[in-house]
Structure 1
Amino acid sequence: MPELPDLQVFAKNLTKLFKDKKLEKVNATVTAKLNVPVKELEDTLEGQTLTHIGRVGKELQFTFKNGHVLALHLMLHGELHLFEAKNEHRFSIIELIFEDKKGLVLTDFQKAATPTLDPEKSDTPDALAVDARYIEQKLSSTKSPVKTVLMDQKVLRGIGNAYVDEILYDAKLSPFSASNKIPAEKVKVLLHSIKSVLEDAEKQIIKHNPDLISGEVRDFLLVHKPKQKETAKGETIHQKPVGSRKTYYTDSQELF
């Protein structure tokens, strides 16, 4: 599943392609998860100019001149593809066709990727906007493993399994640490790691895949590497589950 850095890059590249273009046609081919009738979607968006594409949590949000927003959640296997005039991609969920006949399609063979018209706004902070006070409050209120807390989209939006492992490795904090046992000074280190790891990942993706609009780029990760036995520093990479998620970590990460 694409996480925050991937989606940041997708949004920037899609902006270059489609910002200020008029949407001629929207085709919702899989409607089971669509939150409004197809006709309402068409009446709301067709003929409107796209003014902004951004990332909110794990969604891409397309904002149009009339103020309405189309959100796309790629889920686990959703992919975005470009096409001209006619979409030839299989497993289409929704197609957006713009005035120059250039189109964007969301596909998913599992049919889990979700389009939403005018999604509800969330009070949960984004991982790049969170502050120390909020993180301290959330961690101190539970004894759950810190990895579980950081992956909870109702606590912190935008990051998932891979980048939580990377953040905890950077902070030298064990993913199994009881959240309410982590000292305040270590929480500050964790907050710094959240932002620095995510921002650096975005730079790495742009450097090696400047036109990316789909998929996951993980080559540069340091510890969340299923096929690798050691880090670049020679540390043994261990793998154990936290909840149902495979977790990669080293002995250098302190357990509280």
Structure 2
Amino acid sequence: MPELPEVEALAGYLRERAVGRRVERFEVAAISALKTYDPPPSAVAGRTVTGAGRHGKFLDVQFGEDLRLVVHLARAGWLHYREAFPSATPLRPGKGPIAVRVRLDDGSGFDLTEAGTQKKLAAYLVSEPGQVPGVAKLGPDALAADLPTFVERLRSRRGQVKGVLTDQAVLSGVGNAYSDEILHAARLSPFAITDRLTDEQLAGLHVATRAVLGDAVSRSSGQRAAELKGEKRSGLKVHARAGLPCPVCGDTVREVSFADSSLQYCPTCQTGGKPLADRRLSRLVR
């Protein structure tokens, strides 16, 4: 799933490449992906791309002063920028990976695509980002939150720190991958309970959050959309590295699997050398 650093990089790439271009056509191939009906997709044609930004993990593309395309890429969504499209023929609704296509006046443009069978990519045409329910519920930006805000938000929700850190209503922008990386950097168990964390631990978690996200944003900045996934993988120390040695201590990175996700961690760095067997056993190593 694209998280704060990748969405920030995608927005930056659109600012560099698409801002100032006029939209020739706005095509919707996956009707279920477009969650709004007023204004209609036809309202985008003829408008100029005037900016691009993000709200947490939501991408925000601006067309003039009063129209925005706000997108949540979900787990398997992505943005592909095209210097030229293979055909001028309009897209037809179907079962392919393309959900939305934006054609620009210089022949370039971008596709919003989604792989797999679970189609959860969500696109909204709105006049203000706050009209998107997910954006309206977002907590403070995880990279921008100062220490008092960060501590207040983490202590506002009692639970396992991994889940609280990825709760977009608490702090926005952190997902499964970077939460693993942040907790590894902070030397905290993913199952530590937030209201049991000391002031020192929370301060260390804040430092780790800013460092991990800041480094990822720096590495992703200027990268083409097609290169971002590889750049993300190259910077990971524990996430998606189960069975490999921890680059900090050399211990074997372990994994805890859930119904539809998993987390990775280093026992030596994070849990006093004790492996996390599952959620029922996690109480033993907090």
SS in 1 for 2:207: helix
Distance in structure 2 (CA, Å) of the matches to 1:12 and 1:141: 32
1:52 touches 1:62 (CA, 8 Å); kept in 2?
yes
- Is residue 114 of structure 2 the alignment partner of residue 108 of structure 1? yes
Match of 1:239 in 2: 255
- Deviation at 1:192? 1.2
- Deviation at 1:161? 0.7
SS in 1 for 2:40: helix
Residue 212 and residue 36 in structure 1: after superposition, are their counterparts in 2 closer, same or farther (change >3 A)?
closer
Match of 1:58 in 2: 57
- Is residue 190 of structure 2 the alignment partner of residue 191 of structure 1? no
RMSD (Å) for aligned C-alpha atoms: 2.4
SS in 2 for 1:218: helix
Match of 1:72 in 2: 71
Please, which of 193, 210, 229 is the counterpart of residue 244 of structure 2? Answer: 229
Distance in structure 2 (CA, Å) of the matches to 1:199 and 1:39: 36
Please, which of 193, 214, 220 is the counterpart of residue 205 of structure 1? Answer: 220
Match of 1:159 in 2: 174
1:9 touches 1:213 (CA, 8 Å); kept in 2?
no
- Deviation at 1:75? 1.1
Match of 2:101 in 1: 95
Q: Deviations over 1:107-136 (max 9, x none)?
A: 124332111112425352111122322332
1:148 touches 1:242 (CA, 8 Å); kept in 2?
no
Distance in structure 1 (CA, Å) of the matches to 2:110 and 2:11: 13
TM-score after normalising by structure 1: 0.88
Residue 225 and residue 210 in structure 1: after superposition, are their counterparts in 2 closer, same or farther (change >3 A)?
same
1:174 touches 1:253 (CA, 8 Å); kept in 2?
yes
Residue 39 and residue 252 in structure 1: after superposition, are their counterparts in 2 closer, same or farther (change >3 A)?
closer
- Deviation at 1:242? 6.9
- What are the within-5 Å matches in structure 2 for residues 130-145 of structure 1? 130-145=145-160
Question: Hey, which bits of structure 1, 4+ residues long, moved more than 6 A?
Answer: none
- Deviation at 1:99? 1.2
The aligned amino acid for 1:204 is R
2:241 touches 2:253 (CA, 8 Å); kept in 1?
no
Distance in structure 2 (CA, Å) of the matches to 1:36 and 1:179: 37
Match of 2:269 in 1: 252
Distance in structure 1 (CA, Å) of the matches to 2:233 and 2:185: 16
2:77 touches 2:113 (CA, 8 Å); kept in 1?
yes
Residue 66 and residue 149 in structure 1: after superposition, are their counterparts in 2 closer, same or farther (change >3 A)?
same
Structure 2 unaligned regions, length at least 5: 272-284
1:97 touches 1:103 (CA, 8 Å); kept in 2?
yes
- Deviation at 1:164? 0.2
SS in 2 for 1:60: strand
- Deviation at 1:212? 2.7
The aligned amino acid for 2:255 is Q
- Deviation at 1:245? 3.5
- Is residue 130 of structure 2 the alignment partner of residue 117 of structure 1? no
